[in-house]
Structure 1
Amino acid sequence: MTLIEILLLLLIAAICGSLGQVLVGYSTGGLLASIVVGVIGAYIGIWVAREFNLPVFYALNMGGRSFPIIWSIIGSAIFAAILGLINRATRR
């Protein structure tokens, strides 16, 4: 993978992570947090899809790597919801 491909994948992860956070209504931080939420959301989304035998709807192939857009957004929403619940529980 070239540097441009890595940066594009990180940008797409940031967009998917921020969309997942917007769907839930909980934001963990700025750009770096959105990238982390997007990447972890992609892993969570793919895991959910494999567990329930669901197809990958839309995946972006870049540099030999596949990045599932829809499952990344869904996984990011799940991850942001879990973070929001943990944060709410620790504040009480």
Structure 2
Amino acid sequence: MLLPIIDVGLMNEHLSTHEGLLGKLDLYQTESSATYLKKIVTIQQTLLKTHIRVMLELLNPSNENWIELPNINLEEELSFSWPIHSDFNTL
């Protein structure tokens, strides 16, 4: 599938932004001690990596196949119990 040149330029610029965001998420994952926050960051990392993979596949001029997204059940992914005492209570 060939994309218009303007789309290719925008996607290339967009990819570098996402790479920086992945670095921030890695830092958040390392620095956080809250289990529920780590879970949310992990989900965000997974979604962002999927987004990047799809963009790279769209940019591949030799790819003639449909690009499929994984089936991610966010309701299931986010089903965890919140702690009774959280850091958010101090806000």
TM-score (normalised: structure 2): 0.32
- Which one has the bigger helix percentage? 1
Q: Say which one has the larger Rg.
A: 2
**TM (normalized to structure 1)?**
0.31
Q: Which has a greater percent of strand?
A: 1
